[in-house]
Amino acid sequence: MKIIKTIQHLVPSPFVNMGPIKLRQPLPTEGIENVDPFLLLHHYGPYAISEFNNPFDLGPHPHRGFEPITLLFKGEQFHRDSLGNEMVVKAGGVQWTTAGRGIIHAEAPTKEFVKKGGDLEGIQLWLNLPSTHKMMLANYQHLEDEQIPKLFSQDKKVQLNIVAGNQSIKSGLIKTKTEVNVFTAIAQEKGEMSIDIPENHQSLIYLLEGEILVNDKEILKKGENQMITFHQDGNSVKFEAKSQSTILILSGAPINEKVTQYGPFVMNTQTEILEAMRDYNQGKMGYLY
């Protein structure tokens, strides 16, 4: 039997400055440190990229102890890393990096995209790794839009893209290290869908564009409240689109471990952070120029 999860938090998605980049950050935010195992949610763009405006050029930088994930909704990005991967991620595609013991990567709009111009928009997630996996070998997974399994509502007005995890009879192709669901949805006006989420999962819905009614109770609208988190007390959530909408749905089994973070490193203790800084400075996370 489906039991609707009750709503825990209803929050906006305020702008923050990250160097030259201005983006939305609904997580972490006031009163919500994380939605375990998700540590950070950045919504960047849409930026009008051109030869005269290209703020989203992130040079080589390290990570350790978690999984940085990029979901691209508009534009093109070029990913390269210290494992030797070089991939172009296009709209609808996903890059899923398992930093593990350490990786250095860089991402930016492709030169071709900058030259022709266009909108760039995406989501970057930080997904925590448990202590048993924080020092695993780094790994990179890439999916193009056509590789991502899709489910449709009965009236075909909602398309659910299953990046990772399970929904109905379909499973995402990303091999995850923990029990998580990562879904995106495109909903036409009046489209509605119920999403199955395990009771023990921490979960959220984030709205990128449009307006939706969640659980027949709360409205999410861009520029107002854009994220809802849920209690661990049911096994489903539902939404109805009031206009054409783009939606992110996340859930995961909590890791329930202490998180110690410094910049691009997410570990369990301060000592481990100092070790990460040392290993990066000594080149143990590889090189990328």
Nearest to 261 by CA among 106, 51, 68, 108: 68
Q: Give me the residue spans of the domains in the chain.
A: 22-147+263-289, 148-257
Nearest to 60 by CA among 258, 280, 254, 282: 280
How large is the average pLDDT for residues 264-279?
98
CA 187 to chain centre: 19
Residue 18's pLDDT is 86
Range of weakest confidence among 54-58, 65-69, 222-226, 273-277: 54-58
pTM over 0.95: yes
State pLDDT tens for residues 18-71. 888 899 999 999 999 999 999 999 999 999 999 998 888 889 999 999 999 999
**91, 145 contact by CB (below 8 A):** yes
Give the CATH H-level superfamily of domain 22-147+263-289: Jelly Rolls (2.60.120.10)
Residue 114 has pLDDT above 90, yes or no: yes
Two tokens, residue 75: 């534009």
Range of weakest confidence among 16-20, 146-150, 195-199: 16-20
Give the CATH H-level superfamily of domain 148-257: Jelly Rolls (2.60.120.10)
Two tokens, residue 243: 């206009």
Task: Please name the residue ranges forming H helices in 91-212.
Answer: 111-116
Residue 289 has pLDDT above 90, yes or no: no
CB contact burial 145-160 (16+ within 10 A = b; e otherwise):
eeebbebebeeebbbb
List CB contacts of 277: < 8 A, sequence separation 6 or more: 262, 265
Give yes or no on whether 22-147+263-289 and 148-257 have one common fold. Answer: yes
Mean pLDDT of the chain: 97
Determine the Cα–Cα distance for residues 275 and 135; give it in Å rounded to an integer.
12
List CB contacts of 270: < 8 A, sequence separation 6 or more: 260
Residue 58's pLDDT is 87
